[in-house]
Amino acid sequence: MLIRSPSRFFLFLLLATSAAQTDAAIPIGKAHVYKEVGEGSLTLYVTKPADWQADDKCPAIVFYHGGAWVGGAPGQFTEHSKYLASRGMVCVQVQYRLLDKKNNDPPQICVEDAKSAMRWVRSRAGELGIDPLRIASAGGSASGHLAAFVGMVEGGDASTDDKSVPAKSNAMVLFNAVFDNGPGGWGSKRVGDHYKEFSPFHNVSNDDPPALVFLGSDDKLIPVKTAYDFQSMMKKEKVRCEVMIFDGQPHGFFNHGRAGNKYYYETVLAMDKFLASLGWLEGAPTLEKP
């Protein structure tokens, strides 16, 4: 990879560090192969509530891991999954194909797999004991892009997908998501002039699901203005969009294990309240303050 400036080198290191951190946790839940590709099988991990019954109609959330589309693995949202399962949700963590760091291919395989995973979950709603109309997408950084993509962008489907099954999520929880891939935005070198095919920021419409967006004010990849512009566009389309800015926090601040879990706690608490406001969770949050 050609590094053209100190700032670009810093951003590369930041992304590489974030990708490494997503490998640290081990995914929990039952493993299922959701897709066969040329390179082999792709797996997702399903965590159910302790009192789960086959005839349940639980809300569900599908987590994609971060890592700049080139790294990471399922497990980044293991603690989130444990907690939300304790609140009555079925939680899914998804493996998807990664891009080669040595080239500048667009994230076509990433978005294809993200949609395939969502379709797999929805098509098995009866088997998983979930409500097919209450499935959220969630992720951080590049996986926040994927979570927003499945909620907002038409196209990007795998040729093997059953397109009669909707891939669109019903709510989005976006942790410092790189959802602006247009000129000047993150990932623009990979998507080039085709940014409208990949960038959720450029695909806001009135059928988008409600969104909760978290961002640190010192994030070097995503300007605070981008989050507020996104919110303004969503509100113009009469779509609910909440934005929470965390003062002085960098990219990846929300991850479990950071800062004594202060921001993990604050973001998960806000996520709980957001999902409860949609009627997906009942009662007060039960997460213990660190």
**Which string of DSSP letters, residue by residue, matches 185-246?**
STTHHHHGGGGGGT-GGG---TTPPPEEEEEETT-SSS-HHHHHHHHHHHHHTT--EEEEEE
Average pLDDT, the chain: 92
* Nearest residue to 215 via CA among 169, 171, 267, 258: 267
For residue 7, pLDDT beyond 90? no
For residue 6, pLDDT beyond 90? no
The whole-number pLDDT of residue 26 equals: 83
For residue 126, pLDDT beyond 90? yes
Number of H helices, E strands in the chain: 8, 8
Tens digits of residue pLDDT in 167-181: 999 999 999 999 999
In this prediction, residue 101 has a pLDDT band, given cuts at 50, 70 and 90, of very high
Helix axis angle for 108-123 and 142-152, nearest 10°, is 60
Tens digits of residue pLDDT in 12-41: 434 444 444 444 578 899 999 999 998 799
For the beta carbon of residue 101, count every other beta carbon within 10 angstroms: 14
The whole-number pLDDT of residue 148 equals: 98
Tens digits of residue pLDDT in 220-237: 999 999 999 999 999 999
Tens digits of residue pLDDT in 232-273: 999 999 999 999 999 999 999 999 999 999 999 999 999 999
In this prediction, residue 45 has a pLDDT band, given cuts at 50, 70 and 90, of very high
| Contact of 74 with 46, CB cutoff 8 Å | no
In this prediction, residue 4 has a pLDDT band, given cuts at 50, 70 and 90, of very low
Q: Which domains does the chain have, with CATH numbers?
A: 6-277 (3.40.50.1820)
Mean pLDDT of 200-212: 98
